Amino acid sequence: MAVGTAALEAGRWAEARAAFESLLAAGDPRAGPPEAWDGLAEALWWLGEPRASVECRERAYVAFRRAGDPSGAASAAMEACVGHLVQFGNGAAASGWLGRARSVFTDGVPPEHEGWFGLIEAYLSADDDLACALIRRALDQGRRTGDVDLELSALSDLGGRWVHAGRVTEGLGLIDQALAGALGGECRRLQTVVWAACTMLEACEETGDVRRAAEWLAVVDDFSARYGCPFLYATCRAHHGGLLVATGRWSDAEQELAAALRMAGGAGPVPRVLVLSRLAGLRLRQGRLEEAAALAGDCDDALLDAELLLARAEPAAAVVRLQACLGAGASAAGESAVLARLVEAQLAVAGPDAAAPALERLTRLAARHQGGLAAARADTASGHVAAARGARDQAVGCFTAALRLLRQLELPFEAGCVLLARARVEAPAVGPLAVEDARAALAVFDRLGARSMADAAAALLRSLGARTRPAARTVDVLTAREREVLDLVATGLSNPEIAARLFISRKTAAHHVSSVLAKLGVRSRAEAAALHTRALAGVGRAAPAARDPRASSSSRVSGRETT
């Protein structure tokens, strides 16, 4: 038992698993030590085996009860409750296990458990007011009793509730505070880091705050190096994958969503649907419509269905689907996504007058969330409507404002789409600017791997009599440090391995790798490695370039934003 417990405390999950399994195999597997079942459940959870983990928690509960340990039994039952709810989306089983946890205390719940019961009851509740009251009570108890894990978990949960209710700034502030305390070493349970990190990801995806997520992920990096990835719920990995898609890290998103899908296979239908919807959204951006449609068929996601209909040039059907999405309960980011698409669909069906009500509603929403994703979407939609009315200067101004926000929010695909829209507006009257924007959009789409949008940008360039790709680039454009990084990328080293080899931080290594890919105009590490090999062999040192559209001197002089 001591070997397994020590391995758990050190984060050596495989070692802990082996120790507890060995201990349980030595006796009657139905009557093993409850601590061994509980420890095995913990190790399996960190190793990404949620189904087996929950089964072990249930066995631990039974074993603790037989051993006359109500506190241990309650804790195991509450862990089983959370597992059934978060991993499997099974509210009935979760409620049942919470009831079993309470049942072990014949004389009432002891003070050390009371706050945790309230926190889980809040998580199960669909009533925001009731949930917030329960969370506040848990927060007060955590502070009063010195239970820092309870305090930090309550802070993150309250922040999540506030974000969903529209109190975005306050809610994110609480989540920031919770994650800072958890990663700073205040907590006693590593699960507190996981819970706060997952709440942060969900809130950031809901609000479109990808910058905040990226900043926290850089901090989480050190924790991951020691204990493994903290995104241990399939739903959490799905949110992480969605953020990677949004920020243009599509290769990383593929890996994360694949991992989430494997976890969801052992979880349940709710997490699996969430993962499939994120993967379908990625396929849609990549222009792989048939694959996106196949994935969307299992999702029951009206917004995703509408986006597919728009991609297939079926705007009338998209309008019907989008109008069905405009019910109560959506977040600001979710509602703004629907309204932005509704403006686009109604423009295609009946023109600017038909789109005006949705645009007005989107504009009002953006006014309450200035500087965020909703505002960028409102500016973009306003540009489309102005363009449809023939107001070129107004449309260009709206698109420029949208680009400025999208650049700040670090959303490259959306920025590329707006660049292309602005180029189309400029094309009849301002050919050189249209070419500049179309080339910048093409560079973005080529870098991301967005095939259909790249084809659209290339088609516009051809119609303007311009070549579709800028001149080829060579490794000569790299700095000395970037060449060192390219050498290591070509040998197959990961970013953490490059950081260790060059004695730099992981964040700096990731920045150098991104800069190398951008300067060489390649879309993957494999393409960069191939270019490196050709350069060494003297076969040719050129690669298709993707000009960084933000570096355009003419755009800086004119005040126009690119990406």
Tokens of 228: 């493994």
Question: Does the pLDDT of residue 472 top 60, yes or no?
Answer: no
The mean-pLDDT minimum among 276-290, 461-475, 505-519 falls in 461-475
pTM score, whole prediction? 0.70
Considering only 171-185, 321-335, 421-435, which range has the smallest mean pLDDT?
A: 321-335
Residue where a domain terminates, one of 336, 368, 389: 389
Tokens at 149, concatenated: 């894990």
Domain match, 361 and 430 both: no
Reported as a pLDDT band with limits 50, 70 and 90, residue 228 is confident
Span 377-404, average pLDDT: 96
Domain match, 369 and 408 both? no
Q: How confident is the model at residue 445 (pLDDT cuts 50, 70, 90)?
A: very high
Question: Chain-wide mean pLDDT for the chain?
Answer: 86
Neighbouring residues of 73: CB distance < 8 A, sequence distance ≥ 6:
34, 61, 64, 65, 101, 104
pLDDT of residue 31: 63
Residue 314 within any structural domain of the chain = yes
Q: 459: domain range?
A: 391-470
Residue 345 has pLDDT above 90, yes or no: yes
Place 330 in a pLDDT band, splitting at 50, 70 and 90.
Answer: low
Q: pLDDT at position 551, please? A: 36
Beta pairing partners, 473: 543
Between 260 and 104, the higher pLDDT residue: 104
Whether the pLDDT of residue 548 is over 60: the answer is: no
In which band, very low, low, confident or very high, does the pLDDT at 540 lie, cut at 50, 70 and 90?
very low
Report the pLDDT value the prediction gives residue 539, as an integer from 0 to 100: 42
Q: How far from the centroid of its chain's Cα atoms is residue 542's Cα?
A: 34
Cα–Cα distances in angstroms (integers) from residue 90 to residues 52, 97, 254, 269, in the given order: 16, 11, 27, 9
pLDDT tens-place string over residues 377-390: 999 999 999 999 99
Average pLDDT over residues 137-154: 96
pLDDT reading at 471 higher than 80? no
- 421, pLDDT greater than 50: yes
Whether 401 and 358 share a structural domain: no
Of 356, 389, 422, the residue that ends a domain is 389
* Residues 311, 374 share a domain: yes
Structure-block tokens of residue 203: 């809130």
DSSP 384: H
Q: How far apart are CA 44 and CA 48, in angstroms?
A: 6
Would you state the pLDDT for residue 255?
86
pLDDT in tens, 362-374: 999 888 877 788 8
pLDDT, one tens digit per residue, over 474-515 is: 677 788 788 889 999 998 899 888 888 887 878 788 888 887
Do residues 443 and 464 share a domain?
yes
Tell me, yes or no, whether 395 and 385 share the same domain.
no
pLDDT for position 546: 37
Which domain-ending residue is among 446, 470, 494? Answer: 470
Regarding whether 453 and 404 lie in a shared domain, the answer is yes
Residues 305, 381 share a domain: yes
Question: Is the pLDDT confidence value at 334 over 90?
Answer: no
518 within some domain: yes
Please give the angle made by the CA atoms of 385, 431 and 404, to the nearest 5 degrees: 50
Q: What is the pLDDT of residue 247?
A: 86
pLDDT at 68 over 90: yes
Q: Which residue has the tokens 């003297």?
A: 538
Residues 385 and 418 in one domain: no
Residue 81, in any domain of the structure:
no
If you average pLDDT over each of 7-11, 51-55, 344-348, 528-532, which comes out highest?
Answer: 344-348
Q: Report the percent of the chain where pLDDT is more than 90.
A: 53
Cβ atoms < 10 Å from Cβ of 108 = 9
Residues 318 and 365 in one domain: yes
Q: Do 410 and 459 sit in the same domain of this protein?
A: yes
DSSP-based three-state secondary structure for 288: coil
pLDDT of residue 304: 92
Looking at residues 151-179, what average pLDDT do you find? Answer: 93
Element (H, E) at 101: helix 91-103
160 with 128: CB under 8 angstroms?
Answer: no
* Same domain (yes/no): 404, 372: no
